[in-house]
Chains A and B, each alone.
Chain A
Amino acid sequence: MKHTLSVLVENTPGALSRITGLFSGRAFNIESLNVAATLDPTLSHLTLVTRGDEHIIEQIIKQLRRLIDVLKVVDVSEGEFVEREMSLIKVRAEEEYRAEILRISDIFRCKIVDVSPKSYTLEVTGPESKLKAVIELLRPIGIKEITRTGNIAMMREKKTI
């Protein structure tokens, strides 16, 4: 089962490597990872997507909580939550493809953030399924490069981490 964990961690050097080290040292898997500072610059919010049965997820959460630098761990996928990912996709944009790219971009509410004679760079935001759909449609045209942020997530309604 896929789980999305929100982790609040001290924004100090080494904190991230403690977390990733915990995963590699115990043969847990990280599917995606996103880290950035919170409103309080001394704290980072980390979103981590991992897979495992109930027992493994329980261990992952407990092991994360045991790290001295970690303040809080919540499995947001246990309840209602929103999840977004952003991707930058650079596609071949020779004359004959431009209209098609723009049409796809329009349908999926992407933004063209960079244009050159031979390429367009699209910014696409949404849940993983939407990113997948855009990628599949652009693939036949020719994707030159792609980067993804990995998921970020938040619990719905009043709940905060």
Chain B
Amino acid sequence: MTKMTGKEMVVEALKQEGVDVIFGFPGGAIIDVYDTLEKDGTIKHVLVRHEQGAAHAADGYARASGKVGVCIATSGPGATNTVTGIATAYMDSIPMVIFTGQVPTALIGNDAFQEVDIVGITRPCTKHNYLVKDVNDLPRVLKEAFYVARSGRPGPVLIDLPKDVQNGRAEFDYPQDIKLRSYNPVIEPHGKQVERAYRLIEKAKRPVIYAGGGIIISNADTELRALAKAMHIPVTMTLMGLGGFPGSHELSLGMLGMHGTYCANMAMANSDVIIAVGARFDDRVTGKIEAFAPLAKIIHVDIDPTSIQKNVKVDVPIVGDCKRILKKLLDIVKDVGRPDEAWIDQHKAWLQQLDTWKKRHPLTYKMEPGVIKPQNVIERLYEMTKGRAIITTEVGQNQMWTAQFYKFDNPRTLLTSGGLGTMGYGFPAAIGAQMAFPDKLVVDVAGDGSIQMNIQEMATAMEQRLPVKIVILNNQFLGMVRQWQELFYNRCYASTEFEMTPDFVKLAEAYGAKGFRATRPEEIDDVLSKGLEAEGLAIMEFAIAREEGVFPMVPAGKATTEMLLV
């Protein structure tokens, strides 16, 4: 066995875990690890301009690639700046490892310079975290952190490294396998439960699959598609589930919930069997819980037992990995071998009903002469990228219009902060995604509000020569809050109007990027093609209809059938 310093162990573990890129910002308490990283030279480090950007970039990297995202920051303010990014990843179950520097162990608790109890602060927003007090523990902690982050229901894991631990020496024997006596996520489902689920589905007249982010995390999109097709069951997706089932598929009902399609919400309300897969019955999906899916028996497939029975009563719970469970279900379908026509016959009336709903209230918007409609921009973006781009979004109207009007056919092509709803997520996440896939087109759809929350990362993207494209839907409003004020606060626009927004074209130029602006509908295509084809980082700004709303909309606390339509 070889002796190593703590800082060398960190770099060695990163290599053994297959990490090729990390995102971070240095400082006094983490300078030692940086020194080793630089001298070692095998791991690419992306220097951000704010630690929040590092956390979101690592998150975007993880979502796009399926690998563990890694970020690194110094103690105190460096560490606290990552917290929003950690909480964002935690809410959406994204595998991440966060390294933070810490003051020397002898000074911990002394209110030392740049000291903060980051392990205490992040306890409720990490899957697990560690303060390493002894360098002898470090090899095990490093191995555990990566294992915990990526296994079971994934999540962020933070390792706090006091300066003396980074410089301490110990034997380094990196464990190849790991077994934790207190952590054994259930992967393989209970066979009986899967059979029970099948029997319920077999009798269903009005079934619907409600697919969440778990489909994407467990790479179960192929199984989901096969199952939906084999049994002729329509599929609706949550925001996190978009791309887990092709949005352009004939069995797709689109997104459900607060800004979901009329058809998807009506389907849930009238269904007799709901098959929830990797979704958690979030309040934005269920609306008023008492009125949610009153007629349905519910099958709930999830790797996290705490998600089951949390918000709604479940008839058949199945704990395990979505992919394995769907595969088992598919095996039963094949074994039973009901002819295709039997399934079609059984669901014919239901699918016809869904079709009527689809046609009655499709996703739509009103065109107005001389005014750019944001939905139109997204539709054109979809058509011009042929749906092949990786799209990130910020949070608010830009996010919902993207979810509605961009048809995501493939998993890991929509990166968005679903659970926490973090404005400022999209752009740094796009940087992370572009690092994972240098040759893919990565587009951040932003609002003029959100983009300003992490605009400083323009410098990062330029420095790394990343050709990220930013679409800014500029209404000079914090549009989603303004929409609520319009609908529920008697149009009292308290602090939602921006009297000043920067000239985004000039801003792009100031960073050495390209900037384009459209103010009339006929300029949309031109600006999109110029921006998408420009070399390197580009901003495409669209001056959109200022008071355009996102519809349909289920007002908070109302039943999902009480939708406000266009």
Residues of A within 8 A of B (CB): 9-10, 13-14, 17-18, 21, 25, 55, 58-59, 62-63, 65-66, 68-71
Kindly identify, within residues 250 to 300 of chain B, every residue whose CB is under 8 Å from any CB belonging to chain A.
Answer: none
Closest residue of B by beta carbon distance from A63 = B306
Chain B residues with Cβ below 8 Å from A25 are 124
Closest residue of A by beta carbon distance from B307 = A62
Q: A68 and B309: CB pair below 8 A?
A: no
Please measure, in the bound complex, the distance between the C-alpha atom of A66 and the C-alpha atom of B90, giving whole angstroms: 14
Q: A62 and B123: CB pair below 8 A?
A: no
Please measure, in the bound complex, the distance between the C-alpha atom of A45 and the C-alpha atom of B365, giving whole angstroms: 60
Q: A66 and B182: CB pair below 8 A?
A: no
The number of inter-chain residue pairs (CB within 8 angstroms) is 35
Does B63 lie at the interface of the complex (its beta carbon under 8 Å from any beta carbon of A)? no
Please measure, in the bound complex, the distance between the C-alpha atom of A9 and the C-alpha atom of B128, giving whole angstroms: 14
Q: A68 and B148: CB pair below 8 A?
A: yes
Report the minimum CB–CB distance from A27 to chain B (whole Å): 13
**Given A59-B306, A62-B306, A65-B305, A17:B120 Cβ within 8 A:** yes
Report the minimum CB–CB distance from A62 to chain B (whole Å): 4
Q: B305 and A17: CB pair below 8 A?
A: no
- In terms of DSSP, what is the predominant structure of the interface of chain A? helix
Interface residue from B124, B127, B131, B306 paired with A21 (Cβ < 8 Å): B124
Complex A-B: 18 CB contacts under 8 Å:
A14-B119, A14-B123, A14-B131, A17-B123, A18-B123, A21-B123, A21-B124, A55-B309, A59-B306, A62-B306, A66-B305, A66-B306, A68-B127, A68-B128, A68-B180, A69-B182, A70-B182, A71-B182
Interface residue from B131, B181, B304, B306 paired with A71 (Cβ < 8 Å): B181
**Given A14-B131, A58-B309, A66:B120 Cβ within 8 A:** no
Closest residue of B by beta carbon distance from A68 = B128
Chain B residues with Cβ below 8 Å from A70 are 182
Please measure, in the bound complex, the distance between the C-alpha atom of A109 and the C-alpha atom of B183, giving whole angstroms: 44
Does B199 lie at the interface of the complex (its beta carbon under 8 Å from any beta carbon of A)? no
Q: A59 and B148: CB pair below 8 A?
A: no
Please measure, in the bound complex, the distance between the C-alpha atom of A122 and the C-alpha atom of B131, giving whole angstroms: 42
Kindly identify, within residues 197 to 224 of chain B, every residue whose CB is under 8 Å from any CB belonging to chain A.
Answer: none
Q: Pick from A10, A14, A25, A59 the residue with the most CB of B within 10 Å.
A: A14
Against A, the Cβ 8 Å flags (1 = close, 0 = not) of B113-138 are 00000011001100110010000000
Please measure, in the bound complex, the distance between the C-alpha atom of A55 and the C-alpha atom of B180, giving whole angstroms: 29
Please measure, in the bound complex, the distance between the C-alpha atom of A13 and the C-alpha atom of B309, giving whole angstroms: 31
Does B15 lie at the interface of the complex (its beta carbon under 8 Å from any beta carbon of A)? no
Report the minimum CB–CB distance from A63 to chain B (whole Å): 6
Please measure, in the bound complex, the distance between the C-alpha atom of A129 and the C-alpha atom of B350, giving whole angstroms: 60
Please measure, in the bound complex, the distance between the C-alpha atom of A44 and the C-alpha atom of B304, giving whole angstroms: 25
Please measure, in the bound complex, the distance between the C-alpha atom of A13 and the C-alpha atom of B306, giving whole angstroms: 25
Q: Pick from A18, A25, A62, A68 the residue with the most CB of B within 10 Å.
A: A68
Does B310 lie at the interface of the complex (its beta carbon under 8 Å from any beta carbon of A)? yes
Please measure, in the bound complex, the distance between the C-alpha atom of A59 and the C-alpha atom of B312, giving whole angstroms: 12
Q: B304 and A66: CB pair below 8 A?
A: yes
Please measure, in the bound complex, the distance between the C-alpha atom of A69 and the C-alpha atom of B124, giving whole angstroms: 14
Against A, the Cβ 8 Å flags (1 = close, 0 = not) of B229-254 are 00000000000000000000000000
Q: Pick from A21, A25, A62, A70 the residue with the most CB of B within 10 Å.
A: A62
Q: Pick from B181, B182, B305 the residue with the most CB of A within 10 Å.
A: B182
Chain B residues with Cβ below 8 Å from A18 are 123
Chain A residues with Cβ below 8 Å from B128 are 68
Could you list 14 further interchain pairs (A-B, Cβ under 8 angstroms) beyond the known A59-B309, A71-B181?
A9-B182, A14-B123, A18-B123, A25-B124, A55-B309, A58-B309, A59-B310, A66-B304, A66-B306, A68-B127, A68-B128, A68-B148, A68-B182, A68-B183
Please measure, in the bound complex, the distance between the C-alpha atom of A10 and the C-alpha atom of B183, giving whole angstroms: 11
Closest residue of A by beta carbon distance from B308 = A62
Chain A residues with Cβ below 8 Å from B131 are 13-14
Chain A residues with Cβ below 8 Å from B127 are 68
- Report, nearest first, the 4 A-B pairs whose CB atoms are least far apart: A62-B306, A68-B128, A71-B182, A68-B183
Report the minimum CB–CB distance from B267 to chain A (whole Å): 27
Report the minimum CB–CB distance from A17 to chain B (whole Å): 7
Report the minimum CB–CB distance from B538 to chain A (whole Å): 42
Report the minimum CB–CB distance from A56 to chain B (whole Å): 11
Report the minimum CB–CB distance from A150 to chain B (whole Å): 23
Kindly identify, within residues 164 to 217 of chain B, every residue whose CB is under 8 Å from any CB belonging to chain A.
Answer: 180-183
